[in-house]
Amino acid sequence: MTGKIDAYVDCVSPYSYYATLYLRRNRQALKSHGIEVEFHPIFLGGVNVGSGNKPPWTLPAKANYSKFDSERACKYFGVAPIKTPDFFPILSIMPQRCMIYIKNNYPRERYETTFLSLWEWMYHKNINISQPEQLGELLKSHDYSDEEIKAIVGAASSPEYKQALTANTQTALDQGAYGAPWFWVRNKEGKEEPFFGSDRFAFMWQYLGLPFQDVAILEKSKL
């Protein structure tokens, strides 16, 4: 591999959902250019506290704008409209620790598809996946056995996975993170830079030296 994208994401962040979907859809193209993609669960609440940032829903102007931006993002990334559940925001510590456990103990595809289900169940099915019982049902839908589910959910209370989530979050903070999704990108020269958000991929592709088609307005006469 000649480059890498380390993506730091949290299931409480819808923009992490869009970014994860987008990078997975483009993984094969990225791989053809020697670019690896890896997703790291973090605790966004810890990033906000550590960086001094505030969640969008706590600032009226950001909250009002997000209503428009969320609808636009769903259309752009090709997902069903997101409806903010009544129980939002959740405390994502438990499911995020569980995702680290799954990442460490299962194949990448199973880890990532399970991770994607956190967003799908919360934003499309209105299910609070921060509750152990509900998370257990989600895991069961992915054919994890009762014994596996017990181990996965139990890992969230273990010192090892408490520390693992803290370490991932601190790594992102040390890189300058102030939200999610956060990306740390290494190009073929071995240089590394941060990128933030689900709408900066054109900048990322330029930095990686990848050929890509940018958004272009077509003249009416050529349609």
Domains of the chain: 3-222 (3.40.30.10)
**CA–CA separation, 120 and 90 (whole Å):** 14
Q: What is the pTM of this model?
A: 0.95
What's the pLDDT at 60?
Answer: 87
Enter the tokens of residue 2. 């000649």
- What confidence category does residue 84 fall into, taking pLDDT thresholds of 50, 70 and 90? confident
Question: Could you report the per-residue pLDDT of 123-171, keeping only the tens digit for each?
Answer: 999 999 999 999 999 999 999 999 999 999 999 999 999 999 999 999 9
**CA–CA separation, 156 and 29 (whole Å):** 34
- Name the residue with higher pLDDT: 2 or 168: 168
- What confidence category does residue 1 fall into, taking pLDDT thresholds of 50, 70 and 90? low
Catalytic residues: 13
Average pLDDT in the chain? 95
Q: Does residue 223 carry a pLDDT above 70?
A: no
**CA–CA separation, 138 and 150 (whole Å):** 13
Specify the 3-state DSSP secondary structure of 195: strand
DSSP symbol at 192? E
